[in-house]
Amino acid sequence: MRILLVAIVLIFTQSVFAQQKGNVKGIILDKEMGGEPLAFADVSVKDAKVSSQTDFDGNYFLNIKEGTYTLQVTFAGYEKVEIPNVTIKAGETLTLNNVMLEALKISHNIKNSSQKS
C-alpha cells in the first residue's frame, strides 16, 4: 500500500511540473529566387534559447512550451523577418508556411577626393 501511495504521488508531481509543449513548423522561401526553398536559414524564438535551422527543402520545426512568442528568421545576406504574436498551444502544431526572405539591398557612396601636388 505504501509503495502504491508513493507511486501515485510521484506520478502526480511529475505531471504537475512537466511543461506543456507545442510545435511550430513551416517552410522558409527565397524571394529573390522566385520562392525557392531556403536551406540553412535560422529560425529562432526571440528572447528564448530555442532555435532551429531549415533543411535542404526549407522546412523547420520547433518544439516549445506553450505561450505567445515572436519568431525570427535570419540568413546571411538577407533581411531579418520577425513574426510577432505566434501563439503555441500545448499538444498542437502550428504551421507557418511560405515565409519569404529578401536579400539585403546594399548601397554605398564612393567619395572621390583629388590630391593637389
pLDDT tens, N- to C-terminus, the chain (117 residues): 777 665 566 666 555 555 699 999 999 999 988 999 999 999 999 988 899 999 999 999 999 999 999 999 999 999 999 999 999 999 999 999 989 999 887 776 666 666 555
Residue 47 lies in a domain: yes
* Structural domains of the chain, count: 1
Residues ≥6 apart with Cβ < 8 Å to 5: none
Residue 56 lies in a domain: yes
Q: What is the pLDDT of residue 10?
A: 63
Residue 78 lies in a domain: yes
Q: What is the pLDDT of residue 109?
A: 67
Residue 14 lies in a domain: no
Residue 40 lies in a domain: yes
Question: Grid coordinates representing 3?
Answer: 509503495
Residue 44 lies in a domain: yes
Question: Grid coordinates representing 49?
Answer: 534559447
Q: What is the pTM of this model?
A: 0.72
Residue 86 lies in a domain: yes
Residue 72 lies in a domain: yes
**Single-letter code of the amino acid located at 103:** A
CATH number of the domain that 43 lies in?
2.60.40.1120
Chain position carrying cell 511540473? 17
The domain in which residue 39 lies consists of 19-101
